[in-house]
């Protein structure tokens, strides 16, 4: 079969259980595509061909014995931020270039237990700090829709791999938009779950009160399958919540779009820098949802101007604390011939971290320093609470809130935005993490340069099922999620 990469997760699951093809054939098919096509995209940091084929053979035995789960034998790629026992985990950094974790992240362990096959680890911005994947020590990943464009970030490798059909789906993480924005730039569906829904154990920390893992795939249905594996309480993560997990696949039709109240924040559609094509595609998608029976309600989110400054204070503050563990002593990069301990610390960190990571550590350390703590960090925490309250008030009026996922489509590689220009591009995604809410990106068409545009739907706490269901029904009625980048049409 030459077109296995076109099959949805449900079709793959059926095909495997009906022995139309084996997991080995499917896995080999993806490995062949990676070998042929990934040179142009550079989405993978590590391809684990041998282990993948061994996992595939084990999956085939399980399938034959009749003990298979819905996902047994289906391949996936993990963002290189999830620790994988015996396989390098780099977080896109020179600091961890040679790091092999002694244990699996909970998400990785759950994927293995469900019988999923790991194709490899995919590229990302260094320590998940960025919006383009260009800050990776391993070089920039290319957008499959236009090879001179970025795939977004920080989960740019996950997005590019799925958009080029080099993995059926992938894990990502989202601290301030890193699932939704690359999903938007690459024409994918990506879900950022409620904070606490997915275990952070073994997920390399960026900003711990904001970080959350989630699925990236070609459709809401495919995301639902992966979410069924990723979600759930974990004793090893004290911030993971003890709350029953929905069956996201079973619930795909459980929410009715008819009568659904969708909030349109008036501040969001007047943001300077919102591209006209993005605005038009998002408005068309809202019109479509209205035709399907949704009710559009204008709402106020008064704190919009505070999102970027609040996030870019809190996230670096937490990062500066989390990244203090990379000291050249315990693990990770160590400089050569240190003259004393201070020299070891300084040079290991100066040589091991890239420019953007160093910038964040400096900002964060400054904000947490004794004389400035109240003026910056404490103040930002107070504003964070106001942002959350703004959303809670809105959810008294509406079921979900609509926004673009990003003000533009994918940037040119090397566009050389200043840090502040880049940070402003995160305007639509940051508040969701500050408030701990779930949100989803769905592709809603292309701009005049044939680059994908994404609609973001933000839900109330624990509404992952509802978000997936709304997007699923939209995708039953529209074809945008089936549009593929030209490179995905290439055969291996």
Residues lying near ligand GLN in the complex (CB under 6 A): 128-131, 154, 174-178, 206, 315, 426
> Which of 72, 155 has the CB closer to ligand GLN?
155
The backbone torsions φ and ψ at residue 318, rounded to the nearest 5 degrees and listed phi first, read -65, -35
Give the three-class secondary structure for 259: coil
Closest approach, Cβ 105 to ligand GLN, in A, equals 16
Please say whether the beta carbons of 439 and 467 come within 8 A.
yes
Beta strands in 62-144 (DSSP E): 75-79, 117-122
Please say whether the beta carbons of 444 and 285 come within 8 A.
yes
Q: Is the dihedral of CA 127, 130, 133, 137 positive or negative?
A: negative
> Which of 29, 384 has the CB closer to ligand GLN?
384
> Which of 152, 443 has the CB closer to ligand GLN?
152
Angle of helix 23-41 relative to helix 49-65, nearest 10 degrees, comes to 150
Q: Which of 13, 93, 154, 240 is catalytic?
A: 154
What is the rounded CA–CA span in Å between residue 462 and residue 321? Answer: 29
Closest approach, Cβ 305 to ligand GLN, in A, equals 18
> Which of 77, 124 has the CB closer to ligand GLN?
124
Q: Is 154 a catalytic residue?
A: yes
Q: Of all residues in this chain, which one has the CB nearest to ligand GLN in the complex?
A: 178
Closest approach, Cβ 173 to ligand GLN, in A, equals 6
> Which of 42, 131 has the CB closer to ligand GLN?
131
Q: Which of 13, 178, 219, 320 is catalytic?
A: 178
> Which of 15, 316 has the CB closer to ligand GLN?
316
What is the rounded CA–CA span in Å between residue 275 and residue 334? Answer: 44
Please say whether the beta carbons of 97 and 334 come within 8 A.
no
> Which of 144, 176 has the CB closer to ligand GLN?
176
What is the rounded CA–CA span in Å between residue 42 and residue 55? Answer: 24
How many Å is the Cα radius of gyration of the chain?
A: 21
For the chain, how are helix, strand and coil distributed in percent, rounded to 5? 45, 15, 40
- Give exposure, 190-204, as e/b (b: 16+ Cβ within 10 Å): bbbbbbbbbbbbbbb
Q: Is 287 a catalytic residue?
A: no
> Which of 63, 427 has the CB closer to ligand GLN?
427
In terms of DSSP H, where are the helices of 250-306? 276-291
What is the rounded CA–CA span in Å between residue 15 and residue 25? Answer: 11
Q: Which of 13, 23, 43, 79 is catalytic?
A: 79
Closest approach, Cβ 195 to ligand GLN, in A, equals 13
CA separation, residue 60 to residues 22, 110, 187, 269 (Å): 6, 18, 32, 50
Instruction: Single out the residue of 418, 214, 177 nearest to residue 307, CA to CA.
Output: 177
Residue linked to tokens 């298979």: 68
What is the rounded CA–CA span in Å between residue 347 and residue 358? Answer: 12
Closest approach, Cβ 160 to ligand GLN, in A, equals 16
Q: How does DSSP classify residue 82?
A: B
Q: Is 136 a catalytic residue?
A: no
The residues annotated as belonging to the active site are: 79, 154, 178
């Amino acid at each position: 079969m030459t077109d296995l990469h076109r099959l949805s997760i449900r079709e793959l699951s059926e095909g495997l259980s009906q022995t139309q093809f084996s997991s080995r054939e499917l896995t080999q098919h993806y490995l062949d595509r990676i070998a042929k096509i990934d040179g142009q995209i550079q989405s993978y940091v590590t391809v684990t061909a041998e282990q993948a084929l061994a996992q595939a053979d084990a999956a085939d035995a399980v399938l034959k014995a009749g003990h298979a789960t819905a996902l047994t034998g289906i391949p996936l790629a993990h963002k290189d931020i999830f620790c994988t026992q015996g396989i390098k985990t780099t977080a896109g950094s020179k600091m961890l270039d040679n790091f092999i974790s002694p244990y699996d992240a909970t998400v990785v362990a759950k994927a293995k237990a469900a019988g999923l096959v790991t194709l490899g680890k995919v590229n990302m911005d260094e320590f998940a700090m960025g919006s383009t994947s260009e800050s990776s020590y391993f070089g920039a990943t290319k957008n499959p829709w236009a090879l001179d464009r970025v795939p977004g970030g920080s989960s740019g490798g996950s997005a590019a791999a799925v958009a080029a059909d080099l993995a059926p789906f992938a894990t990502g993480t989202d601290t301030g938009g890193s699932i939704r924005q690359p999903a938007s730039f690459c024409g994918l569906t990506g879900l950022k779950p409620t904070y606490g829904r997915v275990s952070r154990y073994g997920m390399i920390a960026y900003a711990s009160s904001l970080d959350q893992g989630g699925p990236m795939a070609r459709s809401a249905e495919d995301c639902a399958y992966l979410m069924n594996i990723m979600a759930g309480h974990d004793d090893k993560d004290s911030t993971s919540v003890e709350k029953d997990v929905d069956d996201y696949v079973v619930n795909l039709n459980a929410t009715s779009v008819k009568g659904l109240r969708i909030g349109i924040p008036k501040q969001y559609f007047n943001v300077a820098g919102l591209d006209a094509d993005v605005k038009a595609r998002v408005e068309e998608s809202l019109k479509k949802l209205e035709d399907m029976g949704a009710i559009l309600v204008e709402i106020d989110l008064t704190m919009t101007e505070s999102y970027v400054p609040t996030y870019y204070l809190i996230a670096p503050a937490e990062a500066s604390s989390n990244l203090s563990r990379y000291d050249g002593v315990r693990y990770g990069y160590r400089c050569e011939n240190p003259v004393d301990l201070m020299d070891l610390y300084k040079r290991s960190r100066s040589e091991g971290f890239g420019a953007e990571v160093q910038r964040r550590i400096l900002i964060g350390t400054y904000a947490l320093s004794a004389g400035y703590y109240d003026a910056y960090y404490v103040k930002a925490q107070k504003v964070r609470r106001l942002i959350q309250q703004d959303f809670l008030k809105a959810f008294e009026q509406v079921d979900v809130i609509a926004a673009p996922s990003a003000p533009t489509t994918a940037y040119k590689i090397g566009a050389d935005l200043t840090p502040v220009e880049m940070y402003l591009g995160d305007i639509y995604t940051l508040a969701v993490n500050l408030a701990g809410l779930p949100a989803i990106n769905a592709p809603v068409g292309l701009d005049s340069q044939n680059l994908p545009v994404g609609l973001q739907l933000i839900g109330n706490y624990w509404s992952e099922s509802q978000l997936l269901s709304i997007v699923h029904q939209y995708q039953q009625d529209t074809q945008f999620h089936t549009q593929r980048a030209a490179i995905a049409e290439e055969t291996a």
